[in-house]
Amino acid sequence: MAEKKVGICLLGCGTVGAGVVSILREQRAMLRQRTGIDFELRHVVVKGPEDYPANAAELPMSTDAGAAIDNADTDIVVELIGGTAVAGTFVERALRAGKPVVTANKALLATRGVELFKIARGSKTCVAFEASAGGGIPIIDAISRGLAANRIDALLGIVNGTCNFILTKMTQNGWSYAEALKQAQRLGFAEANPAMDVQGRDAAQKLAILAGLAFNCRVTEKDIFVSGIDTLDAMDIQFARDLGYVIKLLAIAERKEGSRLSLRVHPSLVHKDDVLADVSGSFNAISVYSHALGHALWYGRGAGRMPTASAVVADIISVAQGIQGLLFNQMQILMDVVPPVSVQPFEQLESRYYIRLSAKDQPGVLAQVTAILGRHGISVASINQREGGEDRTVPVVITTHKSREGAVQLALKEIDALGTILRPTVCVRIVDQPEEFAAA
């Protein structure tokens, strides 16, 4: 087959952009040999000369994104600017010009995905976004194609490397949240403003993308119950460990009755024998339970320069070979063509719970608390009065059998109103692996 040349226009040359440049330049011969395509980096566009990378002299740098997109020598536009405003404008411009776009920008997909996908269809081109969730793990392709024969019943995993790094440090070193965050920032695993990550919003945006593809519906961030790791106490990590659990920030989508989805991102007690408990540092792991395949899991680096670039370049290849175009047009699973999700209200969730009370050290408190739990139909599985509270409070750790979220929240409100409870009660959900339905 005659060799084809494909011109790449790279918008943004920060962390991931530099990784893409590195692969396209250093692995050019390998890519050509594998794909039969010679990928030429024809434009590297940044905002201003102050953003030029160290090796700018060797690169086709410019600062006029519009001209680079419109140039006839640009075949594929790779958007790695981040944010939604500027990035959205350029992605739209490329798509309207009929040029396919590769992006890692989950925030852009969350805010303008539907509209941009429609524009792409109108221009008979496509968008590829493997790097928008799971970093370098090719999970989007796996869900879209590899599992296409399956009715997926549950998808859950660790999809935010920053939170997982912080939780791993808190668990392994006994650090406080603040200490672990500081270390994550020092090592580049957390941004100066870590809110999007530690509040769980980044994980929710990724879950929206993954769940939408897995369950063939349109999921937005606001469909997802979100609770971050920024209010976790080192004490709870210690107590959880004593109970045989590790605390992880899980993103969860589960099919419930009536095809409704339970969608949530929250710190979760995961049993120490669960494979997700062993996912450490900045790694990601995504478990999928489906009717034919049963349980399957994908594990790898969910962020970082080279892992993310790996996914971006895989998308570039897929677009250049015409594969992404076929997928984009034929698979009826993208957010602009699927119906909106039907969400199970969060208060209907059935879960087991870890509850930590900060009680006054006096007789009768436990009787009051257990009476309230009992009145709300919440059955206690274990109860432990612990040492280690501050300000003369006594930590009491309770785990429950399966209970209803709404009942638990009502009970906790009543408990926190007791004069003998000195601080807001901490409640972390215990997540058991879904049952595997697959026959051998």
Q: Helix 28-35 crosses helix 15-26 at what angle (to 10 degrees)?
A: 70
- Number of helices (H) and strands (E), helices first, in the chain? 15, 17
Name every residue whose Cβ is closer than 8 Å to that of residue 159 and which is 6 or more positions away in sequence: 133, 134, 203, 206, 207, 210, 251, 284, 286, 302
Q: For the chain, give the number of residues.
A: 440
Instruction: Give min distance, CB of 277 to a copy of itself, in A.
Output: 10
Q: Which of 206, 222, 256, 272 is catalytic?
A: 206
Instruction: Report helix, strand or coil for 378.
Output: coil
77 vs 394, beta carbon nearer a copy of itself: 77
Question: Please, are residues 270 and 248 in contact by the beta-carbon 8 Å criterion?
Answer: yes
Look up residue 234 and give its two tokens: 């080192």
Rg over alpha carbons for the chain, rounded to the nearest Å, is: 24
Q: How far apart are CA 204 and CA 196, in angstroms?
A: 10
- The secondary structure of residue 166, as a DSSP letter, is H
Q: How far apart are CA 106 and CA 83, in angstroms?
A: 9
Phi, psi of 278 (to 5 degrees): -90, 0
Q: How far apart are CA 410 and CA 373, in angstroms?
A: 9
- The secondary structure of residue 340, as a DSSP letter, is B
Instruction: Give min distance, CB of 327 to a copy of itself, in A.
Output: 7
Please name the amino acid found at residue 31.
L
Please report, as ranges, the residues that interact with a copy of itself according to CB under 8 A: 1, 19, 23, 27, 30-31, 33-37, 130, 136-138, 141-142, 145-151, 187-189, 216, 275, 278, 282, 290-301, 304-307, 309-314, 316-318, 321-323, 326-327, 329-333, 438-440
373 φψ region: left (φ > 0), alpha (ψ -120 to 50), beta (else): alpha
Instruction: Give min distance, CB of 291 to a copy of itself, in A.
Output: 8
168 vs 420, beta carbon nearer a copy of itself: 168
Instruction: Give min distance, CB of 221 to a copy of itself, in A.
Output: 24
Q: Give residue for tokens 């175009």.
A: 325
272 is an active site residue: no
DSSP result, 174-211: ---HHHHHHHHHHTTSS-SS-HHHHTTHHHHHHHHHHH
Give the burial string for 283-298 (b: 16+ CB within 10 Å, else e): bbbbbbbbeeeebbeb
Instruction: Give min distance, CB of 227 to a copy of itself, in A.
Output: 27
Instruction: Give min distance, CB of 197 to a copy of itself, in A.
Output: 15
Instruction: Report helix, strand or coil for 421.
Output: strand
141 vs 221, beta carbon nearer a copy of itself: 141
Instruction: Give min distance, CB of 14 to a copy of itself, in A.
Output: 14
Name every residue whose Cβ is closer than 8 Å to that of residue 324 and which is 6 or more positions away in sequence: 100, 126, 128, 315, 318
Instruction: Give min distance, CB of 351 to a copy of itself, in A.
Output: 25
Q: Catalytic amino acids?
A: 206
